[in-house]
Amino acid sequence: MRGAFVIRLSPETQPDNNRFEGWAEEVDSGEEVKFRSAEELLKFLGQCFAASLDRRKCGPDLKWRR
């Protein structure tokens, strides 16, 4: 499932204070990260997206699903 993520926010998350903590996993690769800020989460998402673009170059069976 390309481009799909599971994101779990911890009880310490305080959106009003721009504080985000939790865990994220890319469904397709199984890569996961524990994050302590929105920046760390976005960095992980960006890295996974970039890696998925590289995987798409490998062949026609690795296309994005809609």
Contact 2, 49 (CB under 8 A): no
pLDDT digits (tens, 9 = 90+) for 27-57: 888 889 999 999 999 999 998 888 877 765 4
In a domain, 18, yes or no: yes
Is the pTM for the entire model greater than 0.85? no
Contact 30, 48 (CB under 8 A): no
What local confidence, expressed as pLDDT, does residue 62 receive?
44
Q: Which range marks the domain in which residue 30 is found?
A: 5-57
Residue 60 scores a pLDDT above 90: no
In a domain, 38, yes or no: yes
CA distance 43 to 66: 24
In a domain, 64, yes or no: no
* Confidence at 2, pLDDT banded by 50, 70, 90: low
In a domain, 65, yes or no: no
What local confidence, expressed as pLDDT, does residue 10 receive?
96
Contact 21, 10 (CB under 8 A): yes
In a domain, 20, yes or no: yes
Residue 18 scores a pLDDT above 50: yes
Q: Provide the residue type at 55 as one letter.
A: R
- Number of domains making up the chain: 1
Tokens describing residue 49? 């997206």
